[in-house]
Structure 1
């Protein structure tokens, strides 16, 4: 998948998420199915996953190479990455990582801020995806808590799928 297609996919998936969340009543922001995340927590979780990626992509590329290394394999296609993620999700059975572990329930007063931040971080990721060289997209790697080390192109494709995964969960269960 070329970088323009990935950036367009990020935009499409992020827009669908933000539109769905924006059209929900404020009361729904705070309520999820028994023992499951609220829509606000889903939004905060996605923000927690996109922001560190943007931060990493802002670093000089030699820092990423030094800290995480270079890829020793070919980049996988979108469907391979997404299928692998779905398999890994079955193995962890709802376990969360990083800042999303024991996540607070965002208040209704935080809703617009979180939606704005998701939109801004999505636009940043689109911009960074279009600007990074194909060589760096394919050769530099970043760690993913569930998937292990991944080439940057794969982790950005995964991000698009991750947004879609949570949007579909919200539409199906809320």
Structure 2
């Protein structure tokens, strides 16, 4: 499915809002604790913000400077194809590079992390307005796991990446009762 700019903006809005809505329902212990050695909700929020920030900045650069990364002569992949390609890379063992890995997160950081995440959403959607449909397909940016992809595909990636991490959090919550019971056994 090929998404136009309006559809991309809608998908981005939904992915950001759903993530924030879910994170805001979690108690502090579930926001900061890392069950089973996985990233906590706060760490996932930090990771998402770190991965979006360079893209939201790049969308504001003069387009001539983006030629440094080359231009694309081929059409954009569909949203579904990009998701399939990204999942294949993950299934082959790819992990977040060091620059995008989160640090330790504390409960007091929740508000700032959520605000920073939503600020990146606003920057992305505001800057997206200055791009034509053709420019979204033409200019490219580097992705640490997918290589150079065009702007449209990068926006697809951001929407999917948010959804991917939300799904991981929801899966952790389904296992939460077991994890919470283990934590209580350790404490008491």
Q: Same fold (TM over 0.5)?
A: yes
1:98 deviates by 3.8
Residue by residue, what CA displacement relative to the aligned partner does 1:15-70 show, whole Å, maximum 9, x if unpaired?
000000011111111112221111111000000011110111111100001x2010
TM-score, normalised to structure 1, is 0.94
Partner in structure 1 of residue 27 of structure 2 = 25
* C-alpha contact 1:137 1:153 (8 A) present in aligned 2: yes
Output the CA distance in 2 between the equivalents of 1:11 and 1:131.
17
Gaps of 5+ in 2: 174-188
For the pair 1:82 / 2:88, whether they are aligned, the reply is: no
Count of aligned pairs: 171
For the pair 1:116 / 2:115, whether they are aligned, the reply is: yes
RMSD: 1.1
Output the CA distance in 2 between the equivalents of 1:128 and 1:98.
27
Structure with the larger RCO, 1 or 2 (CA within 8 Å, 6+ apart): 1
TM-score, normalised to structure 2, is 0.87
1:122 deviates by 0.8
1:106 deviates by 1.5
Output the CA distance in 1 between the equivalents of 2:28 and 2:98.
27
* C-alpha contact 1:71 1:140 (8 A) present in aligned 2: yes
Q: Secondary structure at the residue paired with 1:170?
A: helix
Q: Does the C-alpha gap of structure 1 residues 22 and 51 become closer, same or farther in structure 2, counting only changes over 3 Å?
A: same
Gaps of 5+ in 1: none
Partner in structure 1 of residue 178 of structure 2 = none
1:130 deviates by 2.9
Runs of 4+ in structure 1 deviating by more than 3 angstroms, as ranges, are none
* C-alpha contact 1:10 1:159 (8 A) present in aligned 2: yes
* C-alpha contact 1:30 1:108 (8 A) present in aligned 2: yes
For the pair 1:57 / 2:59, whether they are aligned, the reply is: yes
* C-alpha contact 1:29 1:40 (8 A) present in aligned 2: yes
